Amino acid sequence: MRKFVLFPLGLMIAAMQCFAISSYAELSDSQISDFYSYNDQIPLNAQEQLVHEDLFMRQYTLSFDAVDGESVTGFLTIPKVIWPPNPQFPVILYLHGHGGSAELDPLLADLIYLIMLFRETKYAVLSLDARYHGERERPDREIFSTNFLQDRNGLAQTIVDYRRAIDYLETRSNINENQIHVFGISMGGLMGAMLSAVDERVRAASLVVAGGNWTELVSSSNLPPAEPMREALRGHYGIIPSLFDIVDPVVLAHMISPRYLQMHNGLYDDIVPTGQQLYDAALEPKEIYWYEGDHISILFFTPDILGRTLDMFDQQ
Number of residues that this document lists for the chain: 316
The reported pLDDT for the residue numbered 21 is 36
* pLDDT for 299: 96
User: Coil, strand, or helix at residue 287?
Assistant: strand
pLDDT for the residue 104: 85
For 248: left if phi > 0, alpha if psi spans -120 to 50, otherwise beta; the answer is beta
pLDDT of residue 14: 37
CB 63 within 8 A of CB 47: yes
pLDDT at res. 26: 81
CATH architecture label of 9-14+22-201+211-256+272-315 = 3-Layer(aba) Sandwich (3.40)
CA distance 178 to 258: 15
Quote the pLDDT of residue 212. 98
Cα 250 from Cα 281, distance rounded (Å): 6
CA atoms of 23 and 107, how far apart (whole Å) = 36
Does residue 80 sit in helix, strand or coil? Answer: coil
Q: What is the pTM of this model?
A: 0.92
Q: Yes or no: say if 193 and 249 are a contact pair by the CB < 8 Å rule.
A: yes
Long-range contacts of 57-64 (CB under 8 A, 24+ apart): 57/112, 57/116, 62/126, 62/168, 64/164, 64/165, 64/168
Contact (CB, 8 A) for 228 and 146? yes
Q: Which ranges of the chain have pLDDT less than 70?
A: 1-25
Q: Tell me the domain boundaries of the chain.
A: 9-14+22-201+211-256+272-315
CA 24 vs CA 21, 46, 178, 270: distances in Å: 10, 37, 31, 24
pLDDT at residue 11 in the model: 36
pLDDT, residue 23, reads 45
In this predicted model, what pLDDT tens digit does every residue of 49-80 receive, in sequence order?
999 999 999 999 999 999 999 999 999 999 99
